[in-house]
Each structure stands twice: as C-alpha cells, then as structure tokens.
C-alpha cells in the first residue's frame, strides 16, 4: 500500500484569531490531496469532468491533535481505507516539521454523473487504478 505524501505551506491568511491554522484550512488541504490522488492514478480532474463525472464529498471528519503555526512545515499523508463501486473513504494525517501528528481525518466521497447527480460506478480498470493506495488495515 502506498501513501500519497505531499508538503504544504502555511500562509498568513490561514491563521485565525488564536494565532494558529484555522480549522477550515484542513478541509482545503484534504481537497489538495484528493486532486493529487486523481493525478497520481492517471485520472486528472479535468479528464474526469470531460467524461461527465464529478467527485463529490458526502462526509468529512477531522480530529485536531495540536495546533500548527505560521512558519511550520506541514507534511500530509493520504490513503484509501475503503473503495467501493462509486465511493471511497480517504484517510488523512497532517504532521508538523518534527513529524508529530497535528491532525487526522477522513472523508467519504463518491463519483456522480454531472447531468443526473446520481452515483456513477467506476469501471473495474478505474477502481484498480486506486488499489495501490488502498489499505484496509488500521495504521498507527
């Protein structure tokens, strides 16, 4: 099982009144991961949309462990914990520059037909392309 690993910068506009990264920024960072995953498996978002299919989210959960601050280096890790015909559960972990877990989360997403907004099943080939990022076991 591979993890998608990507680095993130923290910008001044992402800092809230308490002086640390605002909680909404993590959702944006998850979106970056989803786009990077589609690119990594050979399904860039612009190609997916041309096929009349769109990825949508149905659930997001985040657990915040420690704050991140301006100047911190952030490493994100992403993988799939569930892959179905039209949906997937994506796992995320965000680490500070000392590799201490700052937050972890999960999102459930699915593909929909853009005309009907009904779930769109992925082909076997498309599901197989996601499989290298699939890990059904719980990781520490």
The reported pLDDT for the residue numbered 138 is 56
Query: Is the model's pLDDT at 140 over the cut of 90?
Result: no
Count of domains in the chain? 1
Burial of 122 (0-12, 13-18, 19+ CB in 10 A): buried
Overall pTM > 0.85: yes
The reported pLDDT for the residue numbered 136 is 73
Return the SS3 of 111.
Answer: strand
Mean pLDDT across 88-103? 97
Among 30, 32, 33, 35, smallest CA distance to 47 is for 35
Distance CA 63, CA 71 (A): 22
CATH at 44: 3.10.129.10
**45 lies in some domain:** yes
Q: In which domain, by residue range, is 30 found?
A: 26-104
**44 lies in some domain:** yes
**75 lies in some domain:** yes
**N-term to C-term CA, the chain:** 14
């Amino acid at each position: 099982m591979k993890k998608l690993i990507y680095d993130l910068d923290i910008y001044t506009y992402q800092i809230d009144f308490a002086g640390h990264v605002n909680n909404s920024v993590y959702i944006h960072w998850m979106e970056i991961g989803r786009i990077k995953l589609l690119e990594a498996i050979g399904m860039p978002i612009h190609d997916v949309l041309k096929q009349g299919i769109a990825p949508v989210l149905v659930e997001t959960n985040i657990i915040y462990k420690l704050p991140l601050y301006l100047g911190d280096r952030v490493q994100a890790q992403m993988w799939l914990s569930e892959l179905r015909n039209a949906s997937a559960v994506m796992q995320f972990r965000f680490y500070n520059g000392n590799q201490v877990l700052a937050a972890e989360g999960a999102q459930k997403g699915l593909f929909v037909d853009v005309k009907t907004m009904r779930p769109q099943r992925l082909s076997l080939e498309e599901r197989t392309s996601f499989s290298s990022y699939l890990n059904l076991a719980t990781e520490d």
